[in-house]
Amino acid sequence: MEAAAALPTIEISGDRPELGRQHGEAARSQIRDSIGYYRESFKRTTGLEWSEIRRNAPRWVPPIESYLPGIGDEIRGIAEGAGVDFEEVLALNARGELSTHNPFADEAEEGCSSYAILPQASGDGHVYCGQNWDWRCETAGTVILLRIIQPGRPTIIMQTEAGQVGRHGANSAGIALNANGLGTRWGKGIGVPQPIIRRKVLEATEMQSALRAVFDSRQSLCTNLVVTHRDGFAIDLETTPDRHGWMYPTNGLLVHTNHFVAFVPEQIAATYRPFSVNSLWRLPRLTEGLRAAKDPGDPATIRGAIGAALRDHFGYPNAVCKHGDEASGGTDLNQTIASSIVDLTTGEYWIASGNPCENEYRLLPWNLYQEATVSARPLAAIR
């Protein structure tokens, strides 16, 4: 197969409206492509026409503004910069809620394999984290890399779909967030969409506010979050619309895929079946593969061991390194659209676009801990 397309790297800085405007202008074509894809995808999964989604999208404004004041201004700025409607960008930021059901009714199939490696499990004594980000093949061309510089807040390096204000990444306070879907939901009402929750985590200056961002939110989906700190701490949070479960590393290693491990919520316990059965082998395969990172070596050697684990093809095409499976049915096929290795000790952020078996890990042009500068411009794309 051909190498994946380059991932655009974009720096933005300023207050929330200005962050949004710069984001929208720099990623205008990707945002419009994303709207075009989800307009059809949401119709298949929810039965809703785009006009219905746009009409209902403002219902998210009160909960997101109550949870993270001013974030609506950033979303409006993205829409302005991209030359699209606010309601359309709002819908992009609720794509998890719209990708599996109609969230406006009264009554997600996001993959991913996430990990954290603490000093006792790494051969160079560094803290590492990252993931294989598995999502729709059709969205691969909309992935962007953002460096977000905000007055009074940590600088964020983030991988996200264009137009979304939060997804996976790390910040200059040494806090990283990785995530994977758990494939179920219950309850009624409009919750805070995942990109908003994740952005608040990534704006945290310390673990207290990072975890409060999770536990203080009211969500409508079940999602797994791995929060890692450069000082050698990591926690896995299996979050639901009600209670959350949590786990800590074993011998310095923490891995999660797409099924409940810490607990099974009582709302689904009697009938629970993992929505992604390949999660049941991706978890032990990635765990075993990452144990090789404990062998002594320099950072390049350790990254090589991590990369080898993330390229695992057991169960292909439904492997840790996920390839689109035509036999899975449906019109939306999942694959690994980006793979990350973040060294929280040195601040280096490495990305492979698309499947890591076909593309090398490239070092981003920013270090997590470098002094923030105001440049707000697109930079060279990372392949």
DSSP letter for each residue of 311-373: T--TTTTSSSS----GGG-SS--EEEEEEEEEETTTTEEEEEES-TTTS--EE-S--TTSPP-
What pLDDT shows up at residue 289? 98
Q: What is the rounded average pLDDT of the residues 97-115? A: 63
Is 60 within the bounds of a domain?
yes
Is 1 within the bounds of a domain?
no
Domain range enclosing 130: 7-382
Is 215 within the bounds of a domain?
yes
Is 136 within the bounds of a domain?
yes
> Where would I find the H helices in the chain?
16-26, 28-46, 50-56, 61-67, 71-82, 86-92, 95-98, 194-202, 207-215, 279-290, 299-310
Is 2 within the bounds of a domain?
no
Is pLDDT at 354 greater than 60 in this prediction?
yes
Q: How many domains does the chain have?
A: 1
Q: What is the CATH number of the domain that holds 91?
A: 3.60.60.10
Is 367 within the bounds of a domain?
yes
pLDDT digits (tens, 9 = 90+) for 302-350: 999 999 999 999 999 999 999 987 665 444 578 999 999 999 999 999 9
Nearest in space to 138 (alpha carbons), one of 290, 234, 238, 34: 34
What pLDDT shows up at residue 375? 44
Is pLDDT at 103 greater than 70 in this prediction?
no
pTM: predicted TM-score of the whole model, two decimal places: 0.93
Q: What average pLDDT does the structure give for the chain? A: 91
Is 167 within the bounds of a domain?
yes
Q: Is residue 81 classed as helix, strand or coil in its secondary structure? A: helix
Is 132 within the bounds of a domain?
yes
Q: What is the rounded average pLDDT of the residues 107-122? A: 84
